[in-house]
Chains A and B, each alone.
Chain A
Amino acid sequence: MDQAAASEDILLDLRNISLSFGGVKALIDISFDIRRGEVRAIIGPNGAGKSSMLNVINGFYHPQEGEVWFDGKLRGPMKPHQIARQGIARTFQNIALFRGMSTLDNLMTGRITHMHENMFWQAIWKGRAEKEELAHRERVEHIIDFLEIQSIRKTPVGKLPYGLQKRVELGRALAAESKLLLLDEPMAGMNLEEKEDMCRFVLDVHDQFGTTIALIEHDMGVVMDIADRVVVLDYGRKIGDGYPDEVRSNKDVIDAYLGVAHD
């Protein structure tokens, strides 16, 4: 009984994950879980394996050892798009939008996993496909309103400033209506004001849609403010896991971040 209740509560469970590229060990025996409805931060110095971790979660990398349990089920071998259909959406560290397309179209691509009409109906367009697209457009418009990007609805993404592109990318991930949202350094390269805005949006997403969020971030102030729990990686190993206050006072974490005197 207890086990069932626990698995209800846990959305993603990573057990003893190890990942290596040839001789390079990127992740070594890492286990942690993500609870439903929490904001989980993954932090660590450069090269600690944070992005690799995200890539394992969304199925881009396949770990040599370990199990990924998502939504109560053990994940078998899967392609990333299949995993996306299961309900995991993400943003990228170095923005990966369709630069020549408008904000609106980029957001609409986020809805693709939810479009069901086949090519025949899409080609005929009138009728079923049109109706489906209108329904999706409405969802997308709510996201545009939510992220306050009405003014760039029809602007090609390539023309937008960096901070806004980041916001569009978040919008596209939101459009997928995922169970788990992975954000890879959503505030990297932003100025203070943009960071504050982004924090606000992340918290509002969490509040309004109840989405579970896992995010990688370097800005410790941001992490401590918005994360419910934090996991710390260093050289592919997990060196800390817990509530922000616990992690902040963890000696290994301090050493990894500030460096330690070797005598």
Chain B
Amino acid sequence: MTNTVSGTPDTFPKLLILNAQRFGDRPAVREKEYGIWQTWTWKEVKEELFALAAGLRELGFSPGDKLAIIGRNRPRLYWGITAAQCLGGIPVPVYADSVAEEMEFVLNHAGVRFVLAEDQEQVDKVLEVGESVETLDQIIYDDPRGLREYDQTKLHDFAVVQNLGREALSREPELLNETIDQGRGSDVGIFLYTSGTTGKPKGVVLTNDNIIITSRNSVEFDRLTEAEETLSYLPMAWVGDHIFSHGQAYVAGFCINCPESEETVATDLREIGPTYYFAPPRVFEGLLTHVMIRMEDAGRIKQKLFHYFMKVARETGIRILDGEQVSLVDRLKYWLGNLLIYAPLKNTMGFSRIKLAYTAGEAIGPEIFDFYRSLGINIKQLYGQTEAAVFITMQPDGEVYADTVGVPAPEVDIRITDAGEVVYRGPGVFQSYFRDEEATRETKDDEGWVHTGDAGYFDDRGHLRIIDRAKDVGRLNDGSLFAPKYLENKLKFFPHIKEVVAFGHEREFVTALINIDLDAVGNWAERNNIPYASYQELAGNPEVYGMMEESIRQTNADLAGESQMGGSQIQRFLILHKELDPDDGEMTRTRKVRRNIIRDKYGVLVDALYEGLESCHIRTEVTFEDGRKGTLEADLSIRDVEVFPTVAKSA
């Protein structure tokens, strides 16, 4: 073989060859099938993957061709990515749950010629839109079930394609060398389509360098090794999975584990016990709730032990994790707690071996964050985008805070524009949006700075804080910063607050409308023998008002400690008499508050908040689920909240 690697490999095929040499017999990928974890070593992956690549070549795949990859996380689909790159082609992962029209758009837009689909469901979708995708030529499927009766002229079983490839390779072992050797770091490596929550999806073009350099930097930053184990369960078309399960796995040489099915992820997590794990905040939140509910049902002794040692953990666990000085007595207590509570608890969650966990995507509640850290789980936040090949900021060990997203990732420069928007440039910055020069120009300037659309600032520790979408950020009349979502999120972390709408742009001070969480507050009312007949009645209860006031007071105290945000403490609030509802147009279907509509609809209330009234009468129209309309009338009381002096700027 002439496939020797000199220097640092700049493409994935070259990395694969290197890994087959240096980690040959180490596991590269596992998948649970037929109830057993099946393992492929790096050597075996190379053999399988080259057979696939050679097979694709036999089917006519040529340099520059696009290979769409559609399905959930399966080893064979991951191989498709590098196999296409071996031939100088471009892989295009597509979200497995996209409906046919979305798929049609992506296949057409990218100009896909080959498709690697998981099973009958995906093949059916591709065939459905296939007519209108002119470039489409061949379809390869992984799972042959139900596909025997299909017209096979353009359909190929994965195993058959591999056999084609193996024959070709035995005739001509050097078959792939030329295209692999020609691959360069600056070549386009992959198209990743943004999920398109706003308008049509955009195809983000990333080079091999973008992915490999970013992966290498982050692997070094967190000291990941070939011994890591991860669970690959997030969509392959999402940039995060591409970095965590592909880029970093190839660079560090660690093993990825594909779950048996979507429903078994929790069980598979427990079986694998990953050392490196990513999940969005709601997963960590759900796990914590689950633990807490189970604890409510536990015996009294167990409950007491649990609560006692969780208190110990909160006091010492995080400090131990951050490498601070902890007294011997505290260490002993923590050790005992670990023996009795933390270790078994981590085991049931599948976190026994975890070295590093990441969360990103939205804000995570500080209690949730601290819960995991106090157990000794090194959970961190990061801030990233597809356009940056994920990493914009990361949290170094010992400097992990719940309310910031960390310091700039290695080699990444971050600037805050005059308007308060975060812009960055670095090795991961995308080339362009495919076939969309206008959008590219809007997002990325000539010097390579990329606009995130997010507003943020660096705090005194040099950590970035993301506060809101840039377009939503305003100023109070005295010029201090007002970021409504930032305030609202802080309040929503209290379990009894469901929604908050804050006002303050071009006003004297900040006010808020509040929705209580009927489940949480209702539960509280039940335990305290407070009768109520409706949401409205419960919302108007003075004790409930007291609860909300206390929560806001705490938030204000918190805000006072932040030099940038201290000016936007909430001075007055009221509890709304009805829940904000998408049916009334007050929220989007994905439950995001529609600020402007609420301001118009509840204008009377907002005025009352600023006019210093004690209470206010309101009449609102509501839409019932069957479409009928009715009106709701109420007298709402308004309360003032204590405001704290802001800590002077230390900078």
Residues of chain A touching chain B, judged by Cβ–Cβ distance below 8 Å, are: 137-138, 141-142, 144-146, 148, 150-151, 153, 200, 203-204, 207-208
Contact A204 B145 (CB under 8 A): yes
With A141-B36, A145-B34 given, name 7 new contacts (CB 8 A). A137-B35, A138-B34, A144-B34, A145-B33, A150-B264, A207-B146, A207-B149
CB 8 Å contact bits of B594-607 with A (1 = contact, 0 = none): 00000000000000
Complex Cα spacing A150 to B34, Å: 8
Per-position contact with A for B126-153: 1 when CB-CB < 8 Å, else 0?
0000000000000000000110110000
A150 touches B260 (CB 8 A): yes
B33-70 interface bits toward A, Cβ cutoff 8 Å, 1 = contact, 0 = none: 11110000000000000000000000000000000000
Q: Is the CB of A150 within 8 A of B261?
A: yes
Q: Please, how many angstroms separate the alpha-carbon atoms of A138 and B36 in the complex? A: 10
From 223 to 280 in chain B, residues with beta carbon under 8 angstroms from any chain A beta carbon are 260-261, 263-264, 267
Return chain B residues, CB-CB under 8 Å to A203: 146
Measured between C-beta atoms, what is the minimum distance from B33 to chain A in Å? 7
Distance A151 CA – B264 CA, assembled complex (angstroms): 5
CB distance from B263 to the nearest CB of A (A): 3
Residue contact B145 to A144, C-beta cutoff 8 Å? no
Interface contact A144-B35, CB-CB below 8 Å: yes
Closest 4 CB pairs of A and B: A151-B263, A141-B34, A150-B260, A151-B264
Q: Which of chain B's residues have a CB closer than 8 A to the CB of A142?
A: 34
Give Cα A117–Cα B485 distance, bound, in whole angstroms.
68
Taking the closest CB of chain B, its distance from the CB of A205, in whole angstroms, is 11
Inter-chain CA distance A141–B149, complex, in Å, is 25
A208-B261 contact given A142-B34, A145-B34, A151-B267, CB 8 Å threshold:
no
Report the number of A-B residue pairs with Cβ-Cβ less than 8 Å: 34
Interface centre among B35, B145, B264 (most CB of A within 10 A): B35
CA distance A73 to B645 in the complex (A): 96
Q: How many Å from the CB of A36 to the closest CB on chain B? A: 18
**Once bound together, how far apart are the Cα atoms of A142 and B36, in whole Å?**
11
Interface size class of B (residues with CB under 8 A): 10 to 19
CA distance A144 to B36 in the complex (A): 12
Q: 21 A-B pairs, CB-CB below 8 angstroms?
A: A137-B35, A141-B35, A141-B36, A142-B34, A144-B34, A145-B33, A146-B145, A148-B261, A150-B32, A150-B263, A151-B260, A151-B263, A151-B264, A151-B267, A153-B35, A203-B146, A204-B145, A204-B146, A207-B148, A207-B149, A208-B145
In the complex, what residue of chain B is closest to A137 when comparing beta carbons? B35
Q: How far is the CA of A36 from the CA of B626 in the complex (A)?
A: 53
Which residues of chain A are near B34, meaning CB under 8 Å? 138, 141-142, 144-145
In the complex, how many angstroms separate the beta carbon of A62 from the nearest chain B beta carbon?
39
A154 closest partner in B (C-beta): B267
A238 CA to B325 CA, complexed, in Å: 88
* B contact residues around A153 at 8 Å (CB): 35
Q: Which residues of A contact B35 (CB under 8 A)?
A: 137, 141, 144, 150, 153
Measured between alpha carbons, how far is A204 from B34 in the docked complex, in Å?
18
Residues of A contacting B146 in the complex (Cβ-Cβ under 8 angstroms): 200, 203-204, 207-208
Most buried by A among B34, B149, B260, B263: B34
Residue of A whose beta carbon sits closest to that of B146 = A204
Question: Which chain A residues lie closer than 8 Å to B33 at the CB level?
Answer: 145
Point out the residues of chain A lying under 8 angstroms from B32, CB to CB. 150
Query: Nearest Cβ distance between residue A97 and chain B, in whole angstroms?
Result: 20
- A151-B261 in contact given A138-B34, A145-B33, A145-B34 (Cβ < 8 Å): yes
Q: Which residues of B contact A150 (CB under 8 A)?
A: 32, 35, 260-261, 263-264
Distance in Å: Cβ of A191 to nearest Cβ of chain B: 19
CA distance A207 to B32 in the complex (A): 25
Q: How far is the CA of A154 from the CA of B601 in the complex (A)?
A: 53
In the bound assembly, the distance between CA atoms of A34 and B544 in angstroms comes to 71
Measured CA separation A144–B264 after assembly (Å): 13
Nearest to A148 among chain B residues (CB) is B261
Q: How far is the CB of A175 from chain B (nearest CB, A)?
A: 14
